[in-house]
Amino acid sequence: MSNKWCAKCTVCSIVIKDTTKTTSNFVKHLQTKHSKQYDEWKQLKTKENPVSQQRSITDRFGEPKRRKTYPSSHSRQKELSMGIVKHLIAEMGLPLSLVERNSFKMFMKLVDNKYKCISRRHITRSMLPGKHTAINILNELNKVIKFGLNNSKTATTALAKVATIAKFSHKSSIFADRLENIKLSIPTANETR
């Protein structure tokens, strides 16, 4: 009887039982057996607590708190951002637009709820120019030469990386300037028929 409670009706002295923290049986008894008292109780209840004056949850508890994200200088924010650029974009060859897809953003919320997704613009302007130096380009070219082009997956992925790096050198002025500073350049491809 631990999850039950009972009360004695003050009008007819009948004991009414109900589940703890519920009053439906008490109200039903009053409504069916003592309609006059029920009507009085109903009027009194609406006077004391009219619906129009009822406080809302936000009045009581305030606005819901927004999810806080890591600041851009936080070590976890940097670690996840560099992991995305290094592993997903550079090594796996996934497109930069990956970071702007809703499904990717939802996945990253599952990985770390405080992580704020980086933009494609941030990657191209701030993260890639410092990571893909001329040495990295030469290393990729050496891999292609060393392993050859015949049915070699390493060669095709290396070529894809080199092509991506070449695109950056033509689209990113920061990247092009860094190549120029070390006296290297990647010429633009000539279109042929």
Do 99 and 139 share a structural domain?
no
pLDDT at site 102: 92
5 beta partners: 18
Residue 8: phi, psi to the nearest 5? -100, 125
Q: What is the residue range of 11's domain?
A: 1-30
The reported pTM is 0.38
In a domain, 46, yes or no: no
Q: How far apart are CA 91 and CA 85, in angstroms?
A: 8
Do 116 and 153 share a structural domain?
no
pLDDT at site 41: 79
Do 124 and 139 share a structural domain?
no
6 beta partners: 17
Last residue of a domain, one of 86, 113, 128: 128
Do 137 and 98 share a structural domain?
no
Do 161 and 119 share a structural domain?
no
* Per-residue confidence band for 7, with pLDDT thresholds at 50, 70 and 90: confident
Neighbouring C-beta atoms of residue 110, cutoff 10 Å: 8
Do 116 and 147 share a structural domain?
no
In a domain, 41, yes or no: no
Q: What is the largest CA-CA distance in the chain?
A: 102
What pLDDT digit, counting tens, does each position of 69-99 carry?
Answer: 889 899 999 999 988 888 887 777 788 888 9
Q: What is the total count of domains within the chain?
A: 3
Do 8 and 26 share a structural domain?
yes
Do 147 and 90 share a structural domain?
no
pLDDT at site 156: 67
What pLDDT digit, counting tens, does each position of 100-139 carry?
Answer: 999 999 999 999 989 999 988 888 777 766 555 544 655 5
Mean pLDDT of the chain: 74
Lowest mean pLDDT across 2-6, 34-38, 173-177: 173-177
Last residue of a domain, one of 83, 102, 128: 128
> What one-character-per-residue DSSP string does 5-72 give?
EEEE-TTT--EEEEETT--HHHHHHHHHH-HHHHHHHHHHHHHHS-GGGPPPHHHHH-SPPPPP---T
> What one-character-per-residue DSSP string does 66-95 give?
PPP---TTSHHHHHHHHHIIIIIIIIT---
Do 145 and 122 share a structural domain?
no
